[in-house]
A and B are shown apart, each in its own frame.
Chain A
Amino acid sequence: MKAVRRVLPYLLIALGAVFIVLGIWGGEVAVVLSRATNICLECIGIG
């Protein structure tokens, strides 16, 4: 259990990196970018 706890943060960081790469590969960057570069009407209380 202690060994698992010791490696867990590094596993999570690695998993995070893999997920980011998968996201880039799957075209998710475009979704985030298009949302973030246009004024989000919901966020400012209009939409």
Chain B
Amino acid sequence: MAKKRYLRNKIRHYIQGAWTIVSNGYLVGFVKGRIWQGDTKSVCVPGLNCYSCPGALGACPIGSLQAELAARDIRFPYYVVGFLLAFGAVFGRFVCGFLCPFGLVQDLLYKIRSKKIGRFKLDRPLRYLKYVVLAVLVILLPVLIRNDAGTGTPWFCKWVCPSGTLFAGIPLLLANPGLRSLAGFIFSWKAGILVLILVLSVFLYRPFCKYLCPLGAAYALFNKTSLYRLRLDESACIHCGTCKRVCNMGVDASKAPDDMECIRCGDCVKNCPTKALSAGFFAPGKTKPKQTPADMEQTEQKDRLPL
């Protein structure tokens, strides 16, 4: 079972890595300290992928949302919200588990052998912080606070986003001496946040995704209705607690397979001893057909076969 979990995680990390490379394929940018300026930049990517990353071929949905909201003419940001609706309705937080470069970084850091922080008292209340970040830093402040020219500021990008610092700020400053000379307090502040999150990620699973990511908060709103989701066969569930124990996001899939915190990593699916959980694109509202004793016997026999 441990081997199966290892293999599934490995496949997930390959997908994360491949997507990170594909969506940041302008490698020349890292060497020359400049960014891609082609038309693909008008299309939002699903994950938190800074558009000022030298390799980025698409636009970050959170950065784009703030750009639209901070523009001089305030209007409803149909374009970016459209992407968020479409990605969210199809994938939900599958994006967090499979298609986010900063999620991959945190996943890899958590693999470092160390004492891990499990569930703690403030864990669940702190999860609501990301919704506050989305509402206040991404939406309200860029709209409400304006400079003399009538434009707003992308507050989340400017003061918080560790993904922007890691994938855009550091590579650009390293390769571009002109930009390096401009770095001051804000860069130090953001670098401090990045270091704090990276260090925490060694001990605590995905702290940024759990507590701060506004994009994760947006996709979480779709987790209960997204086409890609977990499905529980209640007749097969023996309530052994394995799914809850193996979930690094602290979700109990036997009680809430469509929990807003689930990033669809699939650890629970692979570890479920009775195969009561499955992940994939399911028609909404459809329940898994009940297994007959013969089906269960067949499943057990299949599991006993050598790989």
Chain A residues within CB distance 8 Å of chain B: 2-3, 5-10, 12-13, 15-24, 26, 28-29, 31-33, 35-37, 39-47
Identify which of B56, B67, B80, B191 gathers the most chain A CB atoms within 10 Å of its CB: B67
Pick the residue among A8, A37, A40, A47 that contacts B37 (CB under 8 A).
Answer: A37
Q: Are B168 and A36 in contact (CB under 8 A)?
A: no
A35→B168 CA distance, assembly (Å): 14
Query: How far, in Å, is A3 (CB) from chain B's closest CB?
Result: 8
How close is B129's CB to chain A, nearest CB, in angstroms? 21
B85: chain A residues within 8 A (beta carbon): 12-13, 15-16, 19
From B3-11, B44-52, B98-106, B261-269, the one touching the partner chain is B44-52
Q: A2 — which chain B residues lie within 8 A by C-beta?
A: 285
Asked if A33 and B39 make an inter-chain contact with CB atoms under 8 angstroms apart, the answer reads yes
A47 to chain B, nearest CB (A): 7
**B contact set with A: CB distance below 8 Å:** 34-39, 41-42, 44, 50-52, 56, 58-60, 63-64, 67-68, 71, 75, 77-90, 153-154, 157-158, 161, 164-165, 168-169, 172-173, 179, 182-184, 186-191, 222, 225-227, 283-286
CB pair A46 B154 closer than 8 Å: no
Within the complex, which residue of B59, B165, B286 is in contact with A44, where a contact is CB–CB below 8 Å? B165
Which listed residue (A23, A28, A37, A44) contacts B41, Cβ 8 A?
Answer: A37
- A40–B164 Cα distance when bound, in Å, is 10
Contact B88 A32 (CB under 8 A): no
The 3 closest A-B pairs by CB, nearest first: A23-B79, A19-B82, A16-B85
Query: With A9-B227, A16-B82 given, is the CB distance from A46 to B186 under 8 Å?
Result: yes
Shortest A26–chain B CB gap in Å is: 6
**Complex: how many Å from CA A7 to CA B85?**
14
A43 near B169 with CB under 8 A, answer: yes
CB distance from A22 to the nearest CB of B (A): 4
Which B residues are in CB contact (< 8 Å) with A43? 50-52, 63, 154, 157-158, 161, 164, 168-169
Give chain A nearest CB distance to B139 CB in angstroms.
Answer: 16
CA A19 to CA B81, docked complex, whole Å:
7
Please measure, in the bound complex, the distance between the C-alpha atom of A33 and the C-alpha atom of B63, giving whole angstroms. Answer: 11
Contact B63 A22 (CB under 8 A): no
Q: Are the CB atoms of A32 and B82 closer together than 8 Å? A: no
A14 CA to B286 CA in the complex, in Å? 21
Complex: how many Å from CA A15 to CA B90?
12
Residues of B within 8 A of A10 (CB): 89
A18-B82, A31-B67 given; A47·B186 CB < 8 A: yes
- Chain B positions within 8 Å of A9 at CB level: 89-90, 225-227, 284
List 28 A-B pairs, Cβ < 8 Å.
A2-B285, A6-B286, A9-B284, A12-B85, A12-B86, A16-B84, A16-B87, A16-B88, A17-B82, A22-B79, A23-B77, A23-B80, A26-B79, A28-B79, A29-B79, A36-B59, A36-B64, A40-B50, A43-B161, A43-B168, A45-B158, A45-B164, A45-B165, A45-B188, A45-B189, A46-B182, A46-B187, A47-B158
